[in-house]
Amino acid sequence: MHDEQPRLRKPSRIRLVDDVVHSLEEAILSGSAAPGTRLVEEAISKQLNVSRTTVREALLMLERSGLVVSRPRGGTFVTRISRADALDLGYTRALLESYAVTVGYERITPAVLAAMSADIAEMGRCNLPRELPRLLQIDLTFHRRLVECAQMPRLLALWSSLDGQIGALYIRAVEEFEAGNEFVVAFHQKMLDAIASGDLVRARAAVVEHYVRFNDPAQTRSLAQEPTIEALMAALG
Please tell me the pTM assigned to this model: 0.75
The SS3 assignment for 9 reads: coil
89 close to 161: Cβ distance less than 8 angstroms: no
pLDDT of amino acid 220? 41
Answer whether residue 235 shows pLDDT above 50. no
Give the count of alpha carbons within 13 A of 68, CB side only: 26
**pLDDT single digits (tens) 50-60:** 999 999 999 99
Q: 184 vs 226, which has greater pLDDT?
A: 184
Distance of CA 18 to the CA centre of its chain: 18
**pLDDT single digits (tens) 136-169:** 899 999 999 999 999 999 999 999 988 888 888 7
Kindly indicate the confidence band of residue 11, based on its pLDDT and cuts at 50, 70 and 90: low
Q: 84 vs 199, which has greater pLDDT?
A: 199
Q: In what order do the strands lie in the sheet with 68-71?
A: 38-39, 75-78, 68-71
Give the Cα separation of 168 and 74 in Å (integer).
22
Q: What's the mean pLDDT in 9-21?
A: 74
**pLDDT single digits (tens) 99-114:** 999 999 999 999 999 9
pLDDT of amino acid 179? 66
Give the count of alpha carbons within 13 A of 122, CB side only: 18
Query: For the chain, which domains are there?
Result: 16-78 (1.10.10.10), 83-236 (1.20.120.530)
Give the Cα separation of 146 and 203 in Å (integer).
11
Give the Cα separation of 227 and 166 in Å (integer).
24
78 - beta bridge partners?
A: 68
